[in-house]
Structures are given as structure tokens and as C-alpha cells.
Amino acid sequence: MTMAALDANTPVMEHEDTRDSRRLGLWLTFPAQILVLFIAVFPILMQVYISLTDWSPLDGIGWWQAHELWNSFANYSDLMADDRFWSALWRTVLVMAICVPCEFLLGLGLAILFVDDFPGRRFLYSVLLIPMMVVPAVAGYMFFMLFQSGGPVNDILSFFYGAPVTIAWLSDPDLAFFAVIVSDIWQWTPLMFLILLAGMVGVPEDQLRAATLLGASWATRFRTIVLPRMKTIIIIALAIRVIENFKVFDNFYIMTGGGPGVATETISIYIYKVTQQELIWGYVAAVALVILIALSVVSALAIKRMSREVSQ
Amino acid sequence: MASIAFRNVTKRFGDTVAVNDVSFEIADNEFFCLFGPPLSGKTTILKLILGLERPDEGEVLIDGKPVNHVSPARRNVAMVFQNLALFPHMTSEENIRFPLVERRISPDRIAPRVADVVAKLHIGHILHKSPAQLSGGERQRVAIARALVRDPVAYLMDDPISALDARLREETRVELKRIQHEMSRTLVYVTHDQEEAMSVADRIAVLENGVIRQIGAPSDIYDNPRSAYVAGMLGAPAMNLITLDPGRLSALDGALPLHAMNVPDGATRIGVRPEDLAVTSAGEGSSSPVEVYEVEPLGGVTVVTLQAGETSLRAMVRGQPKIEPSSRVALAVAEGQACFFDSEGQAVTA
Amino acid sequence: MTSIHLENLGKTFGSFTALKNMNLEIADGEFVALLGPSGCGKSTTMNMISGMIEPSEGEIRFGDRDMRGVPMSRRGVGFVFQNYAIFTHMTVYENLAYGLRATGVAKAERERRVNDMAEFLHLTPLLKRPAAGLSVNILQRLAIGRSAIMEPAIFLLDEPLSNVDAAFRAVMRTELKHLQREFRQTMVYVTHDQLEAMTMADRIAVMDHGKLLQVGTPIDVYNNPSNVFVAGFLGSPGMNLIKGRSVMADGVMRVDLGEAGLSAPLGDALSRSAREGKAVVYGFRPEHCELTDGDGLRLPVNFVERIGARTILHMGRDGHSIKGVFDNRVPVRQGDIVTLAIDPSNIRLFDADTGNAIAEAH
């Protein structure tokens, strides 16, 4: 072993490797690939299997024996007719359609404010990121307290209104829906802000200067340079939040338990209830699979879009 | 110490032929320069010598022994990279010692080797500094010292000083030449800078698309280019290539008379170096078709860009002559200061 | 078209002084190069003219308009960045049209001007191509076109040729100068390459360590540098500078150059201004020396560098590095001892303490 080998391994590799070394690399990573495949694929196959049966842990037989309770596609046809499932799904999409744009616009606004330096910027920046670090269950509990009829929200409203206000936030279906959405926006706007700020800082300074010297106003620069340059990161931020938001559970469950009635029952809360309270796991597996497929389609579209952007 | 030889070496990457049937021999202790535009195959030839690539056809020999199947580590050829790749957390001395320490050579044998290299490279005063504290030229020398301390049979450099600014490049290339002379090792040097190639090399190989167009001493190639391509590659400003007037002993529609010249048969173009193109004022009311386009004073010489119809020419005049843009001038070239090329671009002689 | 006046201009960043007391008048339609090594303050000056940074002191006027507080978008300057700052998410056409669009020029007019500019810079076949992935040479032309299309009164260029290859640089030098000669815009060009400054500029302003050292035409600055820095910075290679002491010998003033021996007698004018026994720097251009069989500086040749048309002799001993430029047929080999004759009219003397040129007395 001499220095040449060490030199040789450093920066010369500009061109393609030879075909031999590529094949060797494939063989070397083969065991790891098998392992990854197993970890990722096995639970899904298990889900598919169970979703085609009536199996429940109460039946007293192991999941691998579930074929004794084979029901073909009964779970899936039940699902199609399950109003509660469809309304939970619709509600989840509605939460997403309200929360994600609000978080995006708030995050973008904050990013614009924070992209240039001002006194106290670092401090405010840290403060702004706090909600993101709070455990969602704790955040749920906080907002549960805030929205009590004798809680701080009503106190503040009373102060401005001049008379005692006793709105039953979490008992009214519409108001409860509003309250859980507020809690989600409070918690996740900082993440959007963080990602968008990172993207905005990455816009080349010289291009902005060049645009300014060519006579472009702030708004023009923002529209023609900043936004197009942030396109990829915006798509990433939105994709993350859409996928995350679909899975929203903790704070909703703690604030309202999905209620009153099913007024705030999202798909996760619905699955949780069916799993833990009704224990029909074959059915749950079917629900979970349908959601997985739906989410995969959304992410695949987003990733395709992203890679197209990046390749440009 | 080693000679290096290529015998009909071809290297392909997919459909592209990076090196095409190349043969040459580099003598022991020679400063050999591979010169050509980007993607002409220079770096691939270096990699074939290093052993990072294997030839598809032909043979690479070091010291007369075929090394096609010898691994890079056993060839004992050192490489100085373009980006230098010094370890930033070590001092210059630690950087230089590194290859020896890595090979578990005993400390009492390391010291004299390091001292020897340090003395030859004149870097005693910067041994305790870290790379960040060094200037570009100093870093260069430390990187060379690190490559040399192993005592390789030959060393290779891939455009090692292109990152330095013009003034420093001028000084460093002279320094490189001195170092090579003192170390007395074979040096294969890649560059795309013609001035650098002519300054340092004992011999230059001019490459185009993976083929060696000409090999020879710098002055030999400069004075006797074998093709229009090679003529254009060496010299700045480049050689003027002017189409001859058909059936007449002149070029540029008579503006460049060649009566005194022995124009060889088959020649379609004449090549004149800017310094050999004599420019004189054509006088008031002249009808000369040659107009001064731009005048660039460099101090010691002045470059005059001329326009004659569609043809753009450059002349290099000594000193600081008074030549006005847009004025008309007469051109002349003396016997023996021109080359001739045929329609294929090959040099023809009378 | 506008003249630029810089008066007592200065800029400090914290405790670091980037520029001090800069006074420079740039006439309408003039091409001025700010030349100096990195950190000399040339880019700072340029950025203050463009309005990217505000001066700490002093004044900038365009014509008789004070530029204090005028934002960069309203100064009407064209700026070509070193990295070109091309909008890589747009096509070539969109890049060229950007400024016209941002300032609300009508579509028909816009199209006409973009097409004219594209034609002029040979970019027409590329108009629909995305700007990302174009070669540096094309990006460079695009950057110039994008600014030029706004027809700015003042054009600022920040090392625009430092990233392009040598052959193209030579072509662009000629082209840029020719363009400026035709359009007669006021042009300020920042570079660290003395060759670019020499070949293109009407006047050169040489800077070092935040100070303006000398302003003049290229030939004037080259022939009569005001101090040793300017003398060494201009030229390729730069002026030879040898430390010595002025001595009176046989009734004429000479310079004692130590090992190299006594210089030839100084010319009358220099003799009168150089006092005897003073530490001086003796300077001459490498191309202003000749080999002689008679009296002169005797120097060993350490290295013969043959570069095409010219040959550079590297001469001197112990740290002295004296260079001479000769034609390619000079019959000298490494190890020879040569004698150099330098015409007294080509000798420049500098004060060894201050580095300033010793003027010829009349």
C-alpha cells in the first residue's frame, strides 16, 4: 500500500466508472438491499393479507392463521359503503385544505420579514420556532385549556367585548372544528417558515441585485426571481405538510376526542377508534391500505414534479 | 527514474473515443507536456499512466515493462492534483510527512527525506504554517513536496497552476521548471495554456480529439507546425491563417503581396505569426483594403487588430507605435517567416 | 451619457478600511479601468457607484446630480457581474427582455429591441434556450446584452472576463473595446489583470490597499509609474526593480547595484534630481535592455524561458530576479554570464524609503 492508492481514490473520478466496478458495487450492496426490502415490504404484505380476512385479535388465532377467516373483498366493499369513513376522509381533506394554505402564507410572510436582518431577529427567530418543538399531545392539552368556556380565550374576548363571554368552543361542532384548526396552524406554521426561509436565503444575492439594477421593483423581483427560484423548496414544504397533515391525530384527539359527535374526527382518529374500540383489524387493514395508496399517489406526483424541477 | 511509453493505446468511454491509437515515448527525466483544449484526451492519458484507467487496446509501459495489469498502487507514480487536496488541519510539514508516516517508515528515515525535499523546494520558512495561512504559490509547492517525498519514479501534474492569477502563474511555472530540474524525475504535465506549455516543457504533445497531432520541442512546433490546427494552438495572439488569392502571388485581394515568396504547390492558405506581419501606414488617400480595427497597447508590444474584407488579422508590433483605429495600412511578410497549408489544413513546403 | 465624479470617497466595514480618500473624475464616454490586486478597494468603489453599498464618507455625482440616497434601481447604471448573475430559470429571451419588462416597455418595442440585441451579440439562434447550461462564453455575452439593452448611461463591469478561456478573452477584449468606442458609454471596468486594463481602457486607475495610486492613459502609466507598486504591477513581466545607492563616479551620477556592478551613467535629468548617497530603487522594463559586449550590468542567466515569439531571460544572483525580454533567436543559454545595456532614457528611479518615483528635474 502506497500513497498512490490514497491519491488515486480522491478527486480524479470525473468520468464514469468502468462497468466492472459498477457490477461489483451492486453485489456488495445486495444483502443490505434485501434487508431493506424485507423491512419495508413485509408489513405491507401482512396488511394486504389481513385486509382480506375477518381476523381480529379476539378470535384467539394468530394472524398467520387468518386465512381461516377469509372474506375476499368484503372489507373493501364495506369500506365503500361506510359513511363514517367517507366523512372522516372528507374532513381530513378539509382540514388539509384550510391548514396547509394558511400555514404556507403565514410562513411565507414571516420568511419575507426574516430574510433581511433587523434588531432582535435572532431572538424572535428562536421564539417563533418554539411551537414546532412542543410535543403535539402537549399542544393539544394547551389548546384544550385555552378553549375551555372559562379559559383564557373567552377571558380575552370578554375583556374586549366588555361583558362576560362564555362560548362553548369545544362543544359546538363548528367552533370545535375551528379550534382544532387554530391549534394545527399554531404548531406547524413555524416548520413552513423554517423551510421557506432556508429557500429564500438560498436565492442568489447577485441575481436580485442584477434585477434591481435592471429596474425591477420589489414585487417584480419577488414574482420573477424569488418565487421561481424557490419552486422546488415550496413543493417540498407543501408535500411534507400535506402528508403530515393527513396523519393529524394527537392534538385533535386530546382537544375533542374527535367530537362533539364526529365533528372533528379525522381519518387517523377514525382508524384509532375502529382499532382500539371495535377491534375489527381486518377492516382497519383495508382502510389503512386505501389511505397508503392514496398518499403514495400524492407523494409520487410531488416527487416527480420535484425531480423535473431539479433536472432543469 | 523512469521512461514512460504508450504503444497504440486506445481508450473508449461508451461511444466516445477518449484516446485514439496514441503512441509516444517519454524519456527519463523529461519534462513532457500534454497540451490541448478541454476533452482532447489529456487527462485520460494521465489516468492511463497512473493506472486509474486501463487501455482498451495497446500497451502502457513504464521503464520498458508493460504495466497494463499493474495496479495504481504498485506503479509508484505520484500525482499532484489541480485542487491540491492538502489536509487543512495539518501544518505544511505534517502534510509533507503524511505519505511516509502512512507507509510506516521509521522516523529517522523520514527526517532526511523531508529535509531534502524542503531544501529543494525552498519551503523551510513555511513548514509550521497550515494550508489556510499559505499563499496560492506556497500551497502549490507544499503539494508538490508531498508528492515528491515518496520518491516516485515519475510524477504527473494536471493543470496544477491554472487557479493562480496571471502574475503568479508566470513566476510559478519558472519555479516548476527549476524544481523538476533539481529533482531529476520524469514529469508529465497537463495544461491548456499554450504559454505555460512552451515555457516549461522539454517536449510538447499537441492533442486534438484524443489524437496526438504533433510532438516536439516547443520552438520546433512553434516554428514548424505540421498542420493549421497546431499552428493555431501555439502563440498568442494566434497565427493568422489567410486564404491565398487563387492564381496570384498574393493574399487578401492583393493587399498582402507574396512575390518574393516561394509559395509551394497545393498551398491554399498562408500562416503568418502576428510578430512577423509588418504593418506600415498606407499614407493619405490610400486605397488599401486593410483597415485598423482596434489597437491594444501592452507596453512592450502593441497588438493591432486589422480588418481586410471578411478577414480579421492580428499583428504584434514592438514598442508603442502611433497607429490610429480606422486608419488604412499596408502589410508585408518577409521570406521564411510564413508557413503554407493545403486545403486539408496540412503544412506544405516548397 | 454621464460623467462620474468621486470626491473624497471612503468606505469602512467595521474597523476595516476598504477605501480611503478616493478622488477620480471619469469623463462622459470614457473607458476607465480600476486595476489592482484583490482587496485593493476596486470592487468596493464599483459597488458604491452602482449604489449597492453606501459610502461611509465622500460624494458620488453623476454629471451634477448627487447620488447620495438614490437607490440602485434608479441610478440608470448597467452592471455586469463577475459571475454574470444570469437568471438561470429563464430562457435567453426572457433574460434579455427582463429589464424592459420590469420597467414596462410595450411588447412590440420589447421584441424589437431584444431581437436587435440578440442579432448584435450573435444570440439569435439561442433565444428560446433555457439560460441554464449555456457555456460561459455565451453567458458572458448574455450578461452584457441584458444590461446593454437598457441603454444605460453608465456601464460597470466587474471582472467580466475572468471566467472565460484565454482565446475567447482575447477576442472579447477587442470586441468590448470596439463596442465602447462605437456607443461611447461611460464605462468603468474592474480587473486585476493588467493586460485587460492596458489593452482596453482610455485611462487606468491603479489601486492598492484602499488607495488610488495613479491615474493616466495606459501608455503613460506604463512608461512613467508613480511608484514601485505600479511599476511592478503593470507589464508582463513587470518592471525590474533593483535596490541600490546613488553614487558619484568620475563626475557622473550612477547607481551602485551591489553584485551587478555600477549602472550606466544616469541621464542628465535624473542625475540632477537624484542626490548622492541615497538609497534608491533602480527600475527598467524587461523589454528595454539589450545584450552588449561593452559596459553594463553583468548578470548570470539562471533560466531561459522561450515562449514562441519571445524569450525571457531570468537573471541575477541571491534573491535578485531580473528579467529581460528578447526575441526568440537570442543566443543565450542557462549558466551564461551576460552584460545588459540599458538606455538612460528608459531608467526609472524610485525613493527606496517611500517607493515613490523620483521625478526628472528639468
Q: Are C190 and C72 in a shared domain?
A: yes
Per DSSP, B240 falls in state E
Q: What is the pLDDT of residue B233?
A: 92
Which grid cell sits at B37?
A: 483544449
pLDDT at position C188 over 90: yes
Q: Which residues of C touch A312 (CB under 8 A)?
A: 89, 130, 132
pLDDT at position C117 over 70: yes
Locate the chain A residue with the closest alpha carbon to C95.
A211
Q: Is residue C167 part of a domain?
A: yes
Contact state of A220 with C102 under an 8 Å Cβ cutoff? yes
Q: Are C299 and C210 in a shared domain?
A: no
SS3 B53: coil
Instruction: Go through the domains of chain A in sequence order and give each one's CATH number.
Output: 82-279 (1.10.3720.10)
Q: Is residue C142 part of a domain?
A: yes
Q: Which chains touch A (3 or more CB pairs under 8 A)?
A: B, C
Q: What is the pLDDT of residue B55?
A: 93
Nearest-neighbour CA in chain C from B336: distance (Å): 14
Q: Is residue B137 part of a domain?
A: yes
Q: Are C217 and C306 in a shared domain?
A: no
When pLDDT is averaged across residues B139-152 and rounded to a whole number, the result is 84
Instruction: Give the DSSP H/E element, type plus range, for residue C327.
Output: strand C322-327
Question: ipTM of this predicted complex?
Answer: 0.84
Q: Domain boundary residue among C165, C195, C223?
A: C223
Q: Are B201 and B316 in a shared domain?
A: no
- Nearest CB to B234: which of C173, C223, C308? C308
Q: Are C149 and C52 in a shared domain?
A: yes
Q: Domain holding B162: CATH number?
A: 3.40.50.300
Instruction: Give the DSSP H/E element, type plus range, for residue C307.
Output: strand C297-307
Q: Are B152 and B218 in a shared domain?
A: yes
pLDDT at position B181 over 70: yes
pLDDT at position B242 over 90: yes
Contact state of A210 with C146 under an 8 Å Cβ cutoff? yes
Q: Domain holding C317: CATH number?
A: 2.40.50.140
- DSSP for B20-41 reads EEEEEEE-TT-EEEEE-STTSS
Q: Is residue B165 part of a domain?
A: yes
User: How far is CA B53 from each of CA A226, B19, B20, rounded to the nearest angstrom?
Assistant: 44, 11, 14
Q: Which residues of A touch C78 (CB under 8 A)?
A: 213
Contact state of B297 with C199 under an 8 Å Cβ cutoff? yes
Q: Which residues of C touch B222 (CB under 8 A)?
A: 308, 328
Instruction: Give the DSSP H/E element, type plus range, for residue B279.
Output: strand B277-281
pLDDT at position A9 over 50: no
Q: What percent of chain A has pLDDT over 70?
A: 92
Using one digit for the tens of pLDDT, what is the confidence trace for B312-326? 999 999 888 988 888
Contact state of B298 with C167 under an 8 Å Cβ cutoff? no
Q: Are B288 and B209 in a shared domain?
A: no
Instruction: Give the DSSP H/E element, type plus range, for residue A175.
Output: helix A173-201
Which grid cell sits at A188?
A: 406547524
SS3 C272: helix
Tell me the C-alpha distance between C55 and C61, whole Å.
Answer: 12
Q: Is residue B232 part of a domain?
A: no
Looking at mean pLDDT, say which of A148-162, C59-73, C201-215, C329-343 comes out highest.
Answer: C201-215
Q: Domain boundary residue among B204, B226, B248?
A: B226
Q: Domain holding B323: CATH number?
A: 2.40.50.140
- Nearest CB to A10: which of B51, B78, B85? B85
Given its phi and psi angles, is residue C265 left (phi above 0), alpha (psi -120 to 50 degrees) or beta?
beta
Q: Is residue C107 part of a domain?
A: no
Q: Is residue C362 part of a domain?
A: no
Q: What range does the domain containing B67 cover?
A: 4-226
Number of domains observed in the structure of chain C: 2
Q: What range does the domain containing C270 cover?
A: 241-351
Q: Are B222 and B81 in a shared domain?
A: yes
Tell me the C-alpha distance between B225 and B341, whole Å.
Answer: 10
SS3 B13: strand
Q: Are B222 and B243 in a shared domain?
A: no
Interface of C with A (CB under 8 A): 50, 52, 71-75, 77-79, 81, 83, 85-87, 89-90, 98-99, 102-103, 130, 132, 146-147, 150
Given its phi and psi angles, is residue A29 left (phi above 0), alpha (psi -120 to 50 degrees) or beta?
alpha
Which grid cell sits at B194?
A: 499554450
Using one digit for the tens of pLDDT, what is the confidence trace for B26-49? 999 999 999 998 889 998 999 999
Contact state of B79 with A11 under an 8 Å Cβ cutoff? no
Q: Is residue B189 part of a domain?
A: yes
Q: Domain holding C188: CATH number?
A: 3.40.50.300
Q: pLDDT class for B56, splitting at 50, 70, 90?
A: very high
Looking at mean pLDDT, say which of B113-117, B135-139, C28-32, C266-270 comes out highest.
Answer: C28-32
pLDDT at position A10 over 60: no
Per DSSP, C200 falls in state H
Instruction: Give the DSSP H/E element, type plus range, for residue A42.
Output: helix A19-51
Tell me the C-alpha distance between B201 and C307, whole Å.
Answer: 10
Using one digit for the tens of pLDDT, what is the confidence trace for A20-72? 667 788 888 888 888 988 888 888 888 888 888 888 777 777 777 777 778 87
Q: Is residue B125 part of a domain?
A: yes
Q: Are C8 and C149 in a shared domain?
A: yes
Q: pLDDT class for A3, splitting at 50, 70, 90?
A: very low
- DSSP for B258-278 reads -TTS-PPTT--EEEE-GGGEE
Using a CB–CB cutoff of 8 Å, tell me whether A20 touches chain B: no
SS3 B160: coil
Q: What is the pLDDT of residue A1?
A: 32
Contact state of C146 with A217 under an 8 Å Cβ cutoff? no
Locate the chain C residue with the closest alpha carbon to A311.
C132
pLDDT at position C286 over 90: yes
Using a CB–CB cutoff of 8 Å, tell me whether A9 touches chain B: no
Q: Are B248 and B160 in a shared domain?
A: no
In whole numbers, what is the pLDDT of chain A averaged over residues?
82
Q: Are C211 and C258 in a shared domain?
A: no
SS3 A271: helix
Q: Are C265 and C198 in a shared domain?
A: no
Using a CB–CB cutoff of 8 Å, tell me whether A224 touches chain C: yes
Using a CB–CB cutoff of 8 Å, tell me whether C290 touches chain B: no
Q: Is residue C55 part of a domain?
A: yes
Q: pLDDT class for A16, splitting at 50, 70, 90?
A: very low
Nearest-neighbour CA in chain A from C34: distance (Å): 21
- Nearest CB to A2: which of B47, B50, B103? B103
Q: Domain boundary residue among C157, C188, C223?
A: C223
Instruction: Give the DSSP H/E element, type plus range, for residue C197.
Output: helix C194-200
Using one digit for the tens of pLDDT, what is the confidence trace for A233-275? 888 888 888 888 888 888 888 888 777 877 888 888 888 888 7
- DSSP for B175-237 reads HHHHHHHHHT-EEEEEES-HHHHHHH-SEEEEEETTEEEEEE-HHHHHHS-SBHHHHHHSSSS
Q: Are C174 and C292 in a shared domain?
A: no
Q: Is residue B231 part of a domain?
A: no
Using one digit for the tens of pLDDT, what is the confidence trace for B284-301? 666 678 999 989 998 889
Q: Are B303 and B222 in a shared domain?
A: no
Q: Are B165 and B265 in a shared domain?
A: no
Q: Are C44 and C178 in a shared domain?
A: yes
Instruction: Give the DSSP H/E element, type plus range, for residue B61.
Output: strand B57-62
pLDDT at position C88 over 60: yes
Q: How many CB atoms lie within 10 A of CB B65?
A: 9
Residues C313/C324, Cβ–Cβ less than 8 Å: yes
Using one digit for the tens of pLDDT, what is the confidence trace for C198-244? 999 999 999 999 999 999 999 999 999 999 999 999 998 999 999 88
User: How far is CA A140 from each of CA A91, A98, A242, C134, rounded to the nearest angstrom?
Assistant: 18, 18, 20, 53
When pLDDT is averaged across residues B153-182 and rounded to a whole number, the result is 83
Q: Give the lowest-confidence range in B151-160, B186-195, C166-175.
A: C166-175
Residues B187/B155, Cβ–Cβ less than 8 Å: yes
Q: Which residues of B touch A15 (CB under 8 A)?
A: 13, 44
Q: Are C289 and C187 in a shared domain?
A: no
Number of domains observed in the structure of chain B: 2
Q: Which residues of B touch C181 (CB under 8 A)?
A: 294, 325
CA A190, A196, A199: angle at the middle one, nearest 5? 145
Q: Are B168 and B40 in a shared domain?
A: yes
Q: Give the lowest-confidence range in A105-109, A278-282, B54-58, C54-58.
A: A278-282
Contact state of A14 with B78 under an 8 Å Cβ cutoff? no
Cβ-in-10-Å burial (0-12, 13-18, 19+) of A72 comes to exposed
Q: What is the pLDDT of residue C79?
A: 93
Q: Domain boundary residue among B171, B193, B226?
A: B226
Tell me the C-alpha distance between A129 and A133, whole Å.
Answer: 7
Q: Domain boundary residue among C223, C256, C273?
A: C223
Q: Is residue C342 part of a domain?
A: yes
Q: Is residue C67 part of a domain?
A: yes
Locate the chain B residue with the closest alpha carbon to A10.
B85
In whole numbers, what is the pLDDT of chain C averaged over residues?
89
Q: Are C17 and C56 in a shared domain?
A: yes
pLDDT at position A18 over 80: no
Q: Are C183 and C260 in a shared domain?
A: no
Tell me the C-alpha distance between C33 and B245, whole Å.
Answer: 42
Q: Is residue C69 part of a domain?
A: yes
Using one digit for the tens of pLDDT, what is the confidence trace for A111-134? 999 988 888 888 999 999 999 888
Q: Domain boundary residue among B179, B195, B226?
A: B226
Backbone angles phi, psi at B23, to 5 degrees: -130, 135
